[in-house]
Copies of this chain bind each other. A is one copy, B any other.
Amino acid sequence: MNLHEYQAKDILKGFGVPIPPGEVATTPEQAKALAEKYGTAVMVKAQVHAGGRGKAGGVKFCKTPADAFEKATAILGMQIKGLTVEKVLVTVAADIGSEAYVGIIVDRARKKPVFMVSAAGGIDIEQVAAETPEKIKYHPVDVRYGLQTYEAMQLGFFLYQDVKLARAAAKIMQQLYAAFMASGCSLAEINPLVVTPTGEVLAVDGKMVIDDNELDRKPAVAALRDESSEEPSEVDARNNNLTFIKLDGDVGCVVNGAGLAMATMDLVKYYGGEPANFLDIGGSSNPEKVVNALRIITADTNVKAILFNIFGGITRTDDVANGIVTATKANPLKVPLVIRLTGTNEEIAMKILTENGFSASSDMDEAVQKAVALAKGGK
C-alpha cells in the first residue's frame, strides 16, 4: 500500500525526522490560508500515488498566498498518470543548499532491509543507479541488531564531509529506520534530504510503501489507505481478499494462485487471446470469494468470456463450484463461462457443477483455447 507524501511525513515526524511545516488542503482557499499562516514562500504539492509529479506540473513554488491560491487551483483536479489530484500538501519552502537521497527497501537477495544513500538526490534514484552507480552506497541492516550508530555515521559521512551534517544525517537515518520497521514498510525514502544554507538537515519529500501483509496488525497504518486514489474495482477486490489487476483484454480470468494466474494469462495470449485481468482468489477459499470475483469481473463490459482455472491444493474445488453455482443463480451471467477445475475434492466439485448444469474440463490448454475462442465470438 502506498502512502501519500503528507502521510509518510506525518509518520516520519513522529519518529523525530526534521520536516518543514506543512498541511493538506483540498481547496485553493485552504491552500491560500495555509500560505498566509506560514507567512513565507510555500510549495504546493499534488498528493497522488504517482511518480514524476514535478515533471507533470504537480509541484509548484509559491511566493505569496495569492500565488498559492492560483497554483492550488491549477493542481487540484489535474490528472497525473491517470489519477485525479484531490489534495495538495502546502508546505514551507525550504532553502536548499544541497540535495541527497536516503532510502530503505527490503532486499530479496540479502534478505534484509537495505539502505541506499546518495549525495546525488532530488532526482530519480533509478537514473543515478543506472548512470553513476558509484554515487550510491548500499548498506544492509541486520534486523537482529538494528541500525547501529556507527553504521548510520558511515552513511552520514558518505553524504557529508562535515561531522555536524554527518551526525544530523545519521540521526535521521536511525529515525527513518525506526519508522520503516514500526510501520511495516517495504520501502521508505527521503528524497531530497536537504541541507539548508544555514546548515540544517531536512526531509523535504518522503515516501512510504507498506507491506500489505502488515496491515492487519497495524490498524493505524491501515487507516491511512486512500481508496479515492485507486481503481474502484481493485479496491472492491482487495476488500474481498482477492488480488485483482484490471487489464485491457476480453477474457476474464479467475484463477487460484498468482503463478498459475500469470501462467493462465500467458496461455490466453499464447492462444491468441487477451486477458481482461489478473485475478487470484488465493489459497484458503470460500464460496463467497468466487461470488465476489464474478461480480467484479462481470462489471467490466469489455469481458466477452470468463475462464475459471482452479487447481485445488489448499483451495478446495468444491468451494469454488459452490461459489459458481451461488453467484450465477443470484446474477445469471451474460457472457459464456469456461470452467477448468482439478485437484482437492475434484469429484465433489464436478458433481456439484454437473448437477447445476455446468460442464467443466480438467485440462488447462483445452479450457484456455475454448475461452479465447468464445471471447472472439467463435464456437
Residues of A within 8 A of B (CB): 144-145
Contacts and interface: CB of A to CB of B under 8 A. Distances in A.
A69 to B, nearest CB: 48
Contacts of A144: 144-145
A187 B144 CA distance: 23
A204 B332 CA distance: 65
Nearest to A145: B144
Contacts of A145: 144
A144 B145 CA distance: 6
2 contacts: A144-B144, A144-B145
Nearest to A146: B144
A304 to B, nearest CB: 51
Those 2 A-B pairs whose CB atoms lie nearest each other, nearest first = A144-B144, A144-B145
A353 to B, nearest CB: 42
Identical chains bound together, number: 2
A145 B146 CA distance: 11
A53 to B, nearest CB: 40
A103 to B, nearest CB: 25
A145 B144 CA distance: 6
Nearest to A144: B144
Nearest to A142: B144
A149 to B, nearest CB: 13
A272 to B, nearest CB: 53
A140 to B, nearest CB: 16
A145 B145 CA distance: 8
A128 to B, nearest CB: 34
A145 to B, nearest CB: 6
A144 B144 CA distance: 5
A217 to B, nearest CB: 13
A142 to B, nearest CB: 9
A36 to B, nearest CB: 41
A144 to B, nearest CB: 4
A144 B148 CA distance: 13
A181 to B, nearest CB: 13
